[in-house]
Amino acid sequence: MQHLVETQQFDRESLQKLFALTTKLEGVRNDSLHGKIMASLFYEPSTRTRLSFESAMLRLGGGVLTMENGKESSSQSKGETLEDSIKVVSQYADIIVMRHAEVGSAARAATVSPIPVINAGDGNMGQHPTQALLDLYTIQRELGREDDIHVAVVGNLKYYRSPRSLAYLLSKYKDIRVTFISSPELRMEDDVKDHLKENGVKFIETEDMTEGIKDADVVYQTRIAKEWIKNDAEYEKQRGRYIITRAVADAMKKGAIIIHPLPRVGEIEAEVDGSPHAVYFKQVGYGLLVRMALLETMLNGRKI
């Protein structure tokens, strides 16, 4: 693929090839991308995604140009369009990794960029395909299988791009069941649910976390995200509603895992870190490997 804009670009075969390469890159540092330059173009603040991509590029021998808080950059403050910024940055680098506040911004960038563009998150209701890829890789690595998996997604489903992206990937597999657990105000949007229906993925919606996760193989916890819920009263109402305590984790079935895109802000208590179900910090390491595989694929012309 030339650009990575959304998870719908993948089929099962391409995911298998990407994840096979991901596993091969564990512990690897080489010069396969020597002489290549990646531009980190982040119009929104980021820690994990930006540093993960930059670490991935450096571990493969490439170079990095980085811009965080791009909306405060000189060109943005002067009114330069996104399209013009991409045309300029593409002269400096071999690949662009971009995060932007507007849904559809990655697709806009891809239409004018002569070099590959990777969507590192576009808007709170857009997509975050590389996060979804590392989520799926984590699930497969930890559970040891691809099919017959029950995933419970908890918390902020309306304003969280990662579970949206993951739902599209899960539809590629067999016997997948999804339980959406949220308040009525933060339910998953209809476009994702319609996609699951069209692809024969069974799902239910509930407000009951205890009941919803008891049979789950994967509990995907999310942050309520104050930056996306502008009403303070609504934020305070939502943020304490679904919290994974050690008691909640201990009640999960044997072999089940808890994942989270991070950062967490109280929705998983620190005592859960010692649970055998907690894999969210291992997930960070898996994410580095997935992003190494993506850079290797997109810059060295590997077929997936």
Which H/E stretch holds residue 141? helix 129-143
Mind listing the domains of the chain with CATH numbers? 7-127+285-299 (3.40.50.1370), 129-283 (3.40.50.1370)
Cα–Cα–Cα angle for 84, 89, 90, rounded to 5 degrees: 95
Q: Is 260 a catalytic residue?
A: no
- Amino acid 167 reads A
Which listed residue (108, 128, 239, 277) is catalytic? 128
How do the pLDDT tens digits run along the chain, 304 residues long?
Answer: 799 999 999 999 999 999 999 999 999 999 999 999 999 999 988 899 999 999 999 999 999 999 986 566 556 656 899 999 999 999 999 999 999 999 999 999 999 999 999 999 998 778 999 999 999 999 999 999 999 999 999 988 887 788 888 999 999 999 999 999 998 888 899 999 999 999 999 999 999 999 999 999 999 999 876 666 667 777 677 777 899 999 999 999 999 999 999 999 889 999 999 999 999 999 999 999 999 999 999 999 766 5
Which listed residue (3, 50, 59, 99) is catalytic? 99
Q: Of 281, 221, 275, 277, nearest to 254 (Cα)?
A: 277
Q: What is the pLDDT of residue 161?
A: 83
Q: What is the pLDDT of residue 99?
A: 96
Which listed residue (17, 36, 48, 237) is catalytic? 48
Q: What is the maximum span of the chain, computed from C-alpha positions, in angstroms?
A: 56
Length of the chain, please?
304
Q: Residue 143 is encoded by which pair of tokens?
A: 């559970």
Q: Is 99 a catalytic residue?
A: yes
pTM, two decimal places: 0.93
Cα separation, 156 vs 226, in Å, equals 11
Q: What is the pLDDT of residue 45?
A: 86
Angle between helices 129-143 and 161-170 (to 10 degrees): 60
Range 190-193 contact pairs with CB under 8 angstroms and sequence separation of 24 or more = 192/164, 192/167, 192/168
